[in-house]
Amino acid sequence: PLGWRGAKLNTTVIYEDTSIRDPLTGLPRPLSNDQYVVANFDFRDDIPHSHWAWGGGFDFYRTRPYYRLAEVGVNNERPYHYLFVENKDVLGLDVKVQAFNLTNGRAYFHRTVWDGERTTAPILFIEDRNLSVEPIFQFTVKGKF
């Protein structure tokens, strides 16, 4: 519960630190593809004495690089924000409209590929992507007629 009747805030915040010895270099490195930072804040307000609810939230995570014999890469997406409005009794059905990625969260990908083992071979190519995810709108109807 959050400060007033009908309001609720759910949060998840995680930080994780991992380490493993890289079989090629012998040096410590994090586990491949480990999501080491996760943050989620989800707010919901069920308006008292009505069928209406509204809310929003924020999702964020960071992922460590993945390691292969001839490749190292990382795939991350930037923060996503969302808002929703819901009516819990439209002819007995639950109807919700949600807008996701309102602040232009992006998808980032970077990888380096070697022409053989990454410790000794020359780099074959480097790939960089920075993609716009664009806003996403969702209309949901739940229930039984």
| pLDDT, mean of each 10-residue run, the chain (145 residues) | 82 95 94 93 94 95 95 91 95 95 90 96 97 92 87
Instruction: Measure Cα distances from 121 to 29, 36, 70, 75 in Å.
Output: 20, 30, 8, 23
Whether the Cβ atoms of residue 74 and residue 65 lie closer than 8 Å to each other: yes
Q: How far apart are CA 139 and CA 84, in angstroms?
A: 10
CA dist list (Å): 114 to 82, 104, 108: 39, 33, 20
For residue 125, the tally of other CB atoms under 10 A from its CB is 9
Cβ 22 vs Cβ 31: under 8 Å: no
Distance from C-alpha of 109 to C-alpha of 92, rounded to nearest angstrom? 44
pLDDT at 136: 93
CA distance 55 to 52: 11
Return all residues near 144 (Cβ < 8 A) that are at least 6 apart. 92
Show Cβ contacts of residue 103 under 8 Å, excluding neighbours closer than 6 positions: 79, 80, 81
Q: What pLDDT, on a 0 to 100 scale, did the predictor assign at position 77? A: 86
| Whole-number pLDDT of residue 133 | 86
